[in-house]
Each structure stands twice: as structure tokens, then as C-alpha cells.
Structure 1
Amino acid sequence: MYGDSKTKIQKIFEKSTKNKHIYESVLLIENYSGDFSYQLGYGGKNTDTPFLMASITKLFTSTCILILREQGKLSLDDKIAKYFEEDTLSSLHIYKGQEYSKDLTLSHLLFHTSGLPDAIEEGSNKARRRAIYKDRQISIDETIMKTKQLKPHFAPDIGKRAHYANINFDLLRKIIEIVTDSTLEDVYKQFIFDPLGLKNTYLPIEEDDFVPNVYYKDTSFYLPNSIRSISASGGCISTARELMIFIKAFFGGRLFNKTVFHELEMDNKLQIAMSPIHYGAGYMKISLGGLVTLFMGKGELLGHLGSTGSFAFYYPASDLFFVGDVNQMAKPALPVRLVMRLAMSIKS
């Protein structure tokens, strides 16, 4: 099984870590049973080194939504107006003179089909610089206020369009907390951490909770307050070893009935800046058979990337899971290229 895959993996990993922007990295690849397992580290990082999952956290939030749906405690067809005060939602989504704020559903948030903009990524250059260089905690109310100052990209559910925006999952956090009458960290613990035995995966809450530094170009930043502000959309910390346990459970049916992937199989292309990524029910899809690979690959990668260089993907065509981190915010294409190259190089 998997032939001389380890040699190929090592060559691709070493080529990737020669990039001048990568100072540390970790990679763990396994099949579902664990019969095949291979790990590599760089810059002192290994499979038990904590790293910021960034937007892979969205898979945890998606898990909570799918479990609550399975329990009958919410529906993806629920209007978000059911969970928020009218003043909070008012003017959140106005497109071409028509207000859609009260029409938004949980499905729109989970699939990124709301059309809502991202207050950080799409704000001014000053806003983006402040997000990186100034560590401050931002409340959900402030995020909503900033979002209201920007124009939505489209009306909800129009033309099979998706636009990736953290606000969608920030809103899902509040809905999870309202439905469960608990904090998001407690829900993660109840639904994910405890059932999977994850001891080193957590949302940093207290002042003394360890938060790893993240790189932007050649500078290492410590951003505990910013990270606490985005708990549902990007604030979780884990290790490659534990993230592997989670990604197998997510797609393997250990956390919720995996028939949901057939029930909610719709996916839409994200904005051009995120090509070739599509978005499904709370997770990303990357085709390996398209133009970006010159039609040389097959199948698709399912999982999530993080803006800090983290990645967690399942490749059904070869029954393989890829988990790791390159810890670089300035080059979002690095982890995408790495995982695509790895998937295309390994033969089961």
C-alpha cells in the first residue's frame, strides 16, 4: 500500500520548507485506519506542537451546528432573525436598495451564501494592517457594526454564489450559544473534545492560556486578544496529532451521521481570490481534476484551510488525511499548493 510514498512526501515537504517565508512547519498524513502514517517537522515543530488552527476552527463550529440539527434543536432553514434582536440585524444586509437582513438563514451562514462582506479582509488597508499589528479584542456587536458599513456582494442564494466571510461563523457562534444556553467553549468540549479525547485542543479564554505566535512575512506576532475575538471562525488551538483525530471523526461519522454530506451536498465556488476553492456545508472542497492541475489529478480534497497556513483535508480517492501547518499569513497559497501536490503524488 502507498508504495514509495514516504520518499515522495519527504521531497515535497522539503521543497515546501525551503520557501523563504516558512520558518516552521509540521505535516502528518494517515489513512483512516492508521495503517499508513507519516509525519515530518521543520523548525522545531512536531505533531505535538500547539498551533493556531485559524479557520479550520470553522469545522468545529460546523460540527456543533450539524449535531444540533441532528438533535432537532435548530434547522438550517431557520431565519437568523429568530435568534437576534431586530436592532442588531437592522441594515446588516442591504443590496441594491433592498434589505435582506431578516431573510438570512442558518444555511446562508454555513454555506457562505449570505453575501455578507468580511469586515477585516474587505475593510481599508489600514483596517487590515491594524488587524495584524494591533492586538485587540473585538466584540460580535462591533463586528456587526463594521459589517454594516460595507456593501454586501449579492443577495442571499443568488446564482449559486458563495463569498467567504468570517461574520457568517461569528453569527453562528451566537446562535449555538443561544440554542444550548452555554458558552461556545463548553459546547466544543461537550460535542467534540470529550467524545474524541482531545486534551490539547482548546479555545483560549483565560489570560494564561497558551497562544502560539503567528508569522506575517518575517515577523512573529503574539495576538491573544485578536484570537479570542474570533473563537468560532478562527480561534481554536490544537496539535497535528489531535487535529488528525478530529478530521477523521468529522468525515468518518463519529460526531454526527455522515449521511448529512449527501443531504447537504451542494457546494459553490468562492470569490476569485480563493480559487480553486468551493464551499459546502461548513467545509471546503478543492477539485484536483480542473484547470489548476492541468486536469492531471482526480477526485477532490475535503476539509479546511486556515489563514495562518494551517490545513486539514480528507482525500477520499486515496483514503488519506492531510493535517499540518506552515505558519505564514502572508502567503495563503502555500498550504493549498502543498496539500494538492501531496495528494497528487501518492498512489494507494
Structure 2
Amino acid sequence: MVNQIESKKHRLQQLLESLTSRKPIKQAIIALESINRSFQWIGTKGKTDADDKKVNQDTPFFLASIDKMYNAAIVMKLSETGALNLNNKISTYLPDTLTKGLHNLNGVDYTERIRVRHLLSHTSGLADWLEDSPKNGKSLVDQVVEEGDREVTLEDMAALVRNRLQPHFPPQDLTAKRPKVRYSDTNYMLLIAIIEEVTGLTLAEVHRKTFIEPMNLTHTYFPGHSGPIDPTPDPMILRANGQEIQIPHLIHSIRGIYSTARDTLTFLRHLVQNDIFQNQKTFSLMQENWNRFGFPLDRAALRAPSWPIEYGLGLMRFRLPRIFSPLHPMPPVVGHTGSTGCWLFYCPQMDVLTAGSVEEVTAGAVPFRIVPKILNILRS
């Protein structure tokens, strides 16, 4: 048994070395542990700053869209207490200045049809304020990477979606067998606004009360909003095509989170073991209806999660179609990824958790290549 465990760790280290040998990736963290903690491993590679400090097990990384899973869990907790209702219109909680005319498609304003559940499930059809491009223009994320950092308010985001971007489809009938799903960061910025409106607290304060303090996530923090509980090393360097980028203002604007491999695995463990919610059925509700993304047909969709990924309420489910591994089908994993090549997944069939990041904004597809290889090593 000891030799088998050491063999798996050796192969995981080889996978890490292979990952960081491919341009433009220069750094990586891969972490995994079984639910019963009989197997644990964290591998790191790369340097964090000009002083050549090495990435280590406690090095934080930007969670990017992994935070959607955290924020969805908060919304579900608020729904348990009756502070909000998933079936209510978003205008129930948000001012007209933010929502009015937000979803205008072919001359019809569908905004009043958008429910909280539409935001959670990416079925609203709203344009993506960050990734979608206006006619004859660049997306905001491209502008930031090419021209430099900027602060963006919720009102700025709403104005961009309202005035310059086109919705993709009307808000879907959520009782339909196959509603359309389109990944949009706008959905989750609106959910952040709802969380802050309903609680009367900043998102960072809500996270501190809900997750950080109860779970002892001592290296998890919101840059510009709140710091970590314990002294924390410098974070991994965020890069685009291998070149360092500094975007503290944008990360501050989107209420971005930094955390470590250990902290993220701790959060996911609490989530999948149903320790977060009062009602034992709440986590199951987040997975009750999986809707598959379509094939990407435009540049923004190519950069976002798409086929064969499915989405529930704040959760992704990913498994490779059997055609790609007919002899050893990949078991499904549940969790979330981020556009910087980060991931946080649970594999129910193998009872294992995995997290990691390469901190490279052009590497959003990396988790979907790496996670199947991790699982193959573990079950070999």
C-alpha cells in the first residue's frame, strides 16, 4: 500500500512538471485529498515575485470564478432563512437604477422576467459584462489586459450591459426540459448586489461570518476589502500569455477572493458534507437540475465554460464524454473552475477533492485537461 501511494505521488509530481513545462504556464499548484484523508498531496512549482520566492503549499491564488460556488452557497443559505426567495424577481431586491432595461432583446425588455434562480443557473440570457464584446469594440477583459487596470462599479457594469451589449436569449422557462444556458459574469455580479442588499453587509463581511471564521480559512481574503486572519505569503503572479499583469482595481471591483489550496479544499469539504446548510436537502437542490452548455459559437463563449460542462445552481458538473475514454470513462466531478486556470472539484464516485491553479488568464481550459489525468492517476 505504501509503495502504491508513493507511486501515485510520483506520477502526480510528473504531471505537475509536465504542466509547467508548457508555455505560457510558469507556475502551478495541484492539491488533492480523499474525504477520509487517507491520501493527501500538494505539489507546487514556480516563483511568486521578483525576489524569487518559490510557490509553496500556503501560497494564495486568485479564485476567479470559483467564487461563484461560494456566493451561490450564500444565496442558498439566505433562501433557507427566508431572507430571499429564489423564485422572486431580481427587481424585488435591486433598485431600478441597476436593473431597468438590463435585458432588452429585439425591442422587448425582459428584465422583469429574470428571477434569482435564473442568475444562479446562468439561464437569464444576459450579456456578459466582462467577456462579451460590443459591436466593433473589445471586451472589457481584453481592454484591461491590453490597456491596463481599472475600477468598475456595479452601475458601470449595468450601463455597459444595458447600452452596449446584446442579450443572448430571453430568460428561460426553468420548467422546460432543456433550457438554454449561457455563462455570464453579469449574473453573479447581480447576485453579489443582492447578497449585499439583503444582508446589509459587504460581501467580504458575509464571507467572514459564513465561511472564513467558522471554517478557520486563515489565508482567505478579499484584496482591498479585507485581509487574511493569519500572516500570509505573497500570492502567485497573475499572468497573461506568460507576462505578469497587475489588476488590483478590477479584482477589487468584482469582490475577488484570494485563497490557498488547503483553504479551498476545506470549504469544499464542508459543502459536500452538507455542513454549511441548515436543511440537509439544500446542497442536493444545487444539483437537482443539470443543464448542459451549448457548443461555443463566438469568441466570448470559447473563453467561458461550454459543452460538455453542465451547470446547476452555482455548481459545474464535468465529465468527459465516453468517446474520449471508452475503456475507462471519467467519473463526474462537481465544483467550479476559473478563467485563470484554477479549479475546485469533488469526485463523488472516488470520494476525493482536488484544487489547483496555474494563474494564467489564457489557461481557462487547463482544469478540464488536468483533472481527468489526476483522477486516472488516483484510480490506476
Is TM (by shorter chain) over 0.5? yes
Structure 1 partner of 2:167: 152
Amino acid at match of 2:159: M
SS at match of 1:205: coil
Answer yes or no: is 1:195 the counterpart of 2:219.
no
Worse overlay, 95-104 or 142-151:
95-104
Partners of 1:190 and 1:129 in 2: how far apart? 35
Structure 1 partner of 2:195: 176
SS at match of 1:164: coil
Structure 1 partner of 2:370: 338
Answer yes or no: is 1:18 the counterpart of 2:42.
no
SS at match of 2:333: strand
Answer yes or no: is 1:82 the counterpart of 2:92.
yes
The answer to whether the 8 Å contact 2:336/2:345 transfers is: yes
Structure 1 partner of 2:275: 254
Amino acid at match of 2:73: T
> How far did 1:175 drift?
0.7
Q: How does 1:182-261 map to 2 (within 5 A)?
A: 182-205=201-224, 213-231=237-255, 235-256=256-277, 257-261=279-283
> How far did 1:127 drift?
3.6
Answer yes or no: is 1:311 the counterpart of 2:365.
no
Q: Residues 146 and 72 of structure 1: is their aligned pair in 2 closer, same or farther, counting only changes over 3 Å?
A: same
Deviations 1:50-107 (A, max 9, x none): 1111111111111110111111211110110101223432211122332210110110
> How far did 1:299 drift?
2.6
Q: How does 1:255-334 map to 2 (within 5 A)?
A: 255-256=276-277, 257-264=279-286, 265-272=288-295, 273=302, 274-294=306-326, 296-334=328-366
> How far did 1:17 drift?
1.8
Deviations 1:288-339 (A, max 9, x none): 3444545742431111111111111101111111111111111221222111
Partners of 2:320 and 2:181 in 1: how far apart? 20
% identity of equivalent residues: 30
Partners of 1:181 and 1:249 in 2: how far apart? 25
Partners of 2:364 and 2:129 in 1: how far apart? 18
The answer to whether the 8 Å contact 2:25/2:360 transfers is: yes
Amino acid at match of 2:19: S
Deviations 1:177-230 (A, max 9, x none): 111111111100111101101111011125999765311012111111010111
Unpaired runs of 5+ residues, structure 2, are 47-53, 229-233, 296-301
> How far did 1:282 drift?
0.3
Q: Residues 126 and 280 of structure 1: is their aligned pair in 2 closer, same or farther, counting only changes over 3 Å?
A: closer
The answer to whether the 8 Å contact 2:271/2:283 transfers is: no
Amino acid at match of 1:51: F
Partners of 2:292 and 2:181 in 1: how far apart? 6
> How far did 1:16 drift?
1.6
Structure 1 residue corresponding to 2:76, chosen from 45, 49, 66 = 66
Amino acid at match of 2:38: D
Partners of 1:147 and 1:258 in 2: how far apart? 37
Structure 2 residue corresponding to 1:91, chosen from 101, 118, 137 = 101
Structure 2 residue corresponding to 1:42, chosen from 45, 54, 71 = 45
The answer to whether the 8 Å contact 2:16/2:45 transfers is: no
> How far did 1:267 drift?
1.6
Partners of 1:239 and 1:150 in 2: how far apart? 35
Q: How does 1:48-59 map to 2 (within 5 A)?
A: 48-59=58-69
> How far did 1:126 drift?
6.0
Amino acid at match of 2:155: D
> How far did 1:5 drift?
2.5
SS at match of 2:219: coil
The answer to whether the 8 Å contact 1:211/1:222 transfers is: no
Q: Residues 248 and 88 of structure 1: is their aligned pair in 2 closer, same or farther, counting only changes over 3 Å?
A: same
Q: CA RMSD in A?
A: 2.1
Structure 1 residue corresponding to 2:33, chosen from 24, 30, 34 = 30
Amino acid at match of 1:335: P
